[in-house]
Copies of this chain bind each other. A is one copy, B any other.
Amino acid sequence: MHGGGKLATRLAEQMGVEQKMVDGRRITDAETLKIVTMVYAGYINKNIVARLQSHHCNAMGLCGADGDAVLAHKRAHPVLDFGFVGDVDAINTPLIKTLLESNITPVMSPITHDQQGQLLNTNADTIAQEMARGMSSDYKTELIYTFEKPGVLLDVNDETSVIPELNAGYYQQLKSKQKIFAGMLPKLDNAFTALNSGVSKVIIGQAEHLKKLISGESGTTITNE
């Protein structure tokens, strides 16, 4: 699962498309949907797939419309209209299973569809969490979130303050002391939702250290223990 917000913002600027924000949240109008579909499902997705293919990984790029991989609905909100933003209804786990068992590695872009012909811009972390939940009924599933920081930090300004292990009790304790940076809360809430739904482990850290994230030498490992 990948995103691509920064590249999308750059393309919007180049095309002279203004980014609409309401209450600090980006609104996906028709023109922005077009841009994120081009950047996420096209440029970024296909370049990742081509790179993986060059490393002999038989990757296949999918957005949520492909094979009905991720079904969503346009977000309803009593006051704000977020535009073409989708909330996930269902993950097509049999499709993902079929691909994995054919030794095909799915590479997902965060564009979903509503089965009515409408594409929707959807939060990548949430799809990853829903996907991991869905797969956990058939497989031992670990979810790895990568971002720009080396892990969940005790002090947002100190990159050496990575919390190596986190569970629900410790998370509540840190949250009540406001020790968790606000920007981390959605990712961590997604992580605990995944853990409570069958995912065995969630790891958060930097993509550059993927091998060390998997082995537990880097990043924050979150479990239910």
Contacts and interface: CB of A to CB of B under 8 A. Distances in A.
Interface of A: 11, 14-16, 34, 37-43, 45-47, 49-51, 53-54, 58-63, 65-68, 98, 102, 104, 111, 113, 115-119
Copies of this subunit = 2
Given A14-B15, A58-B67, A113 B53 contact: yes
A43 B39 CA distance: 9
21 contacts: A37-B42, A37-B43, A37-B46, A38-B38, A38-B43, A41-B41, A41-B45, A41-B46, A42-B42, A42-B46, A46-B65, A47-B119, A49-B113, A50-B119, A51-B117, A53-B65, A59-B65, A59-B66, A61-B63, A61-B65, A61-B66
Contacts of A115: 53-54
A4 to B, nearest CB: 11
Given A14-B16, A42-B40, A113-B53, A104 B61 contact: no
A143 B218 CA distance: 53
A98 B118 CA distance: 27
A43 to B, nearest CB: 5
B37 A116 contact: no
Count chain B CB atoms within 10 A of each CB in A38, A51, A54, A60 and give the residue with the most: A38
Given A60-B66, A63-B61, A67-B60, A113 B42 contact: no
Contact of A49 (B16, B53, B65, B98): B65
Contacts of A11: 15, 38
Q: Which 9 pairs show the lowest CB-CB distances between chains A and B?
A: A42-B42, A54-B117, A38-B38, A38-B42, A50-B65, A60-B67, A50-B113, A49-B65, A60-B66
A104 B51 CA distance: 25
